[in-house]
Amino acid sequence: MQKGAKVKMAIILKTTKVIEAQLDQFLDILGDTALLYQKGIEDFMFERFEQFEDRLAQIRENEHKADDLRVHIERFLYEHTLIPENRGDVLAILENTDEVIDNIKDSILQFSIEMPQIPHELDDLFVQTAKASVESVENLAMAVRSFFRDLSAVNNYIHKVYFFEREADQLGEKLRRLIFSLGIDLAHKNQLKNFGIHVEKISDYAQAVCDRLAIYTIKRQL
Convert the pLDDT of each residue in 125-164 to its tens digit: 999 999 999 999 999 999 999 988 888 999 999 999 999 9
How much is the pLDDT for 75?
A: 83
Per-residue pLDDT band for 97 (boundaries 50, 70, 90) equals very high
Lowest-confidence region among 85-94, 147-156, 183-192: 85-94
Please check whether residue 86 is in contact with residue 151, taking contact to mean a CB–CB distance below 8 angstroms. no
Q: Is 47 left (phi over 0), alpha (psi -120 to 50) or beta?
A: left
Over the chain, what is the mean pLDDT?
A: 89
Q: Which pLDDT does position 4 carry in this prediction?
A: 47
Angle at the Cα of 43 (from 29 to 204), degrees rounded to 5?
Answer: 50
197, amino acid identity: I
Percent of the residues in the chain that have a pLDDT greater than 90, as a whole number: 73
Mean pLDDT of 191-208: 97
pLDDT score for 21: 85
Q: Which pLDDT value is given to residue 16?
A: 64
Q: Which CATH architecture has domain 3-221?
A: Up-down Bundle (1.20)
> Assign residue 115 a region: left if phi > 0, alpha if psi is -120 to 50, beta otherwise?
left
Compute the average pLDDT of residues 86-113.
91
In this model, does residue 7 exceed pLDDT 80?
Answer: no
Q: What is the DSSP letter of 151?
A: G
* Rounded-to-10 torsion of CA 194, 199, 205, 210: -140
Question: From residue 194, how far is each of 105, 133, 135, 189 by CA, in Å?
Answer: 16, 16, 21, 9
Gap between the Cα atoms of 122 and 125, Å rounded:
6
> Band of the pLDDT at 10, cuts 50, 70, 90?
very low
In this predicted model, what pLDDT tens digit does every residue of 16-53 receive, in sequence order? 677 778 889 999 999 999 999 999 999 999 999 999 99
**Angstrom distance (rounded) from CA 46 to CA 66:** 29
